[in-house]
A = this chain, B = another copy of it.
Amino acid sequence: MRILITGASGFVGFRLAAHLTAQGHHVVGTYLRDVPALEGVDLYDVDLLDGPLISEVVQRAAPEVVVHLAGLSHVGESWSRPADYFRVNVLGTENLLLAAAGVRFLAASSAEVYGAVPESDQPVSEERLVAPQSPYALTKAAMERLVFAAGGIVVRSFNIVGPGQAQNFALPAFASQLAAMSQGRQERVLKVGNLSAQRDFVHVDDAVEAYEVILQQGQPGECYNLGSGEAHSIEAVLNRLIAVSGLSPTVEEDPTRYRPVDLPLLRADNRRLVELGWTRSRDLDWALRDLWQAISAREAGEAGAHIATPV
């Protein structure tokens, strides 16, 4: 199949592009500024706000499927850059939908669109009315409406973990601090934000397999939760990551790391995705070991070598 992946330099996009290429698909990828080290992938430097350029790339790529992963994705940052989040996530998606009219289309959304869901209503299913709380979630919920209107498929990701996630997300930031400690570059005090929130974690390679299943089997106009069905507090995950690292740091709360709104619990009802044929193959400890290995190697100067390994 000819597959266009936007955000091929991103956390999930990079590994999805590598995986699909290894499966024998013809993958075209877009990135912004930093060229990803992806062999066998046709790559284009594309700003989603550049409508004419997107049209040109889509025409050249002539994809049978578009997997739209590009976007701004940091809940905390969205409070200080709401306009950028709107432009990229909403107007950028609109440009891509126009350029790829009539083409099978998958777009990455987020469990954040569900907002604050009472524990009694969890695991949360796709039918639930969205209740976005953060600027990020508002832009993703808006983007979803455009995708549905165009007959596209929406994937609502819960928390994806593994090598390659940006350092401004909680687990890579923790791992990075731990790696700096293990190399004697930081005193053994780990600064953390709110640890009580509970989230549903999926290994990035399980997420890649989910996208593969959805791009082949997903129903147009439908929405799929991408989550494990389990929830863990950030505190529990941090303790497991600390165990993986073999260190014993002091953990210190840093109120400057708190978000204006932090949803207490998000746990996926993943039955729709499982019915399509997806199975989760890697548990949380597996994801944390892969994250730790990648970050400690990078912090030791072997930057990037690991993330070029496809699934």
Contacts and interface: CB of A to CB of B under 8 A. Distances in A.
A92 to B, nearest CB: 12
Contacts of A82: 132-134, 137-138
A133 B80 CA distance: 9
A214 B135 CA distance: 31
Contact of A87 (B49, B116, B131): B131
B94 A132 contact: no
A139 interface: yes
A134 B83 CA distance: 9
Interface string A113-154: 001100000000000011111110111011001100100000
Contacts of A94: 145, 149
A201 interface: no
Contact of A90 (B49, B116, B137, B142): B142
A86 B131 CA distance: 7
Contacts of A142: 86, 90, 138-139, 141-142, 145
Contacts of A83: 115-116, 130-133
A87 B90 CA distance: 17
A90 B135 contact: no
A214 to B, nearest CB: 24
Of the listed residues A90, A132, A138, A149, the one surrounded by the most CB atoms of chain B closer than 10 A to its CB is A138
Contact of A149 (B131, B133, B135, B149): B149
18 contacts: A82-B133, A82-B134, A83-B130, A83-B131, A83-B132, A86-B131, A86-B138, A86-B142, A87-B129, A90-B141, A90-B142, A94-B149, A138-B138, A138-B142, A141-B142, A142-B142, A145-B146, A146-B146
6 closest residue pairs by CB, A with B = A142-B142, A83-B131, A138-B138, A83-B115, A86-B132, A82-B133
Given A86-B130, A91-B130, A94-B149, 20 more contacts: A83-B115, A83-B130, A83-B132, A86-B132, A86-B138, A86-B142, A87-B130, A87-B131, A90-B142, A90-B145, A91-B129, A91-B145, A94-B145, A135-B135, A138-B138, A138-B139, A138-B142, A142-B142, A142-B145, A149-B149
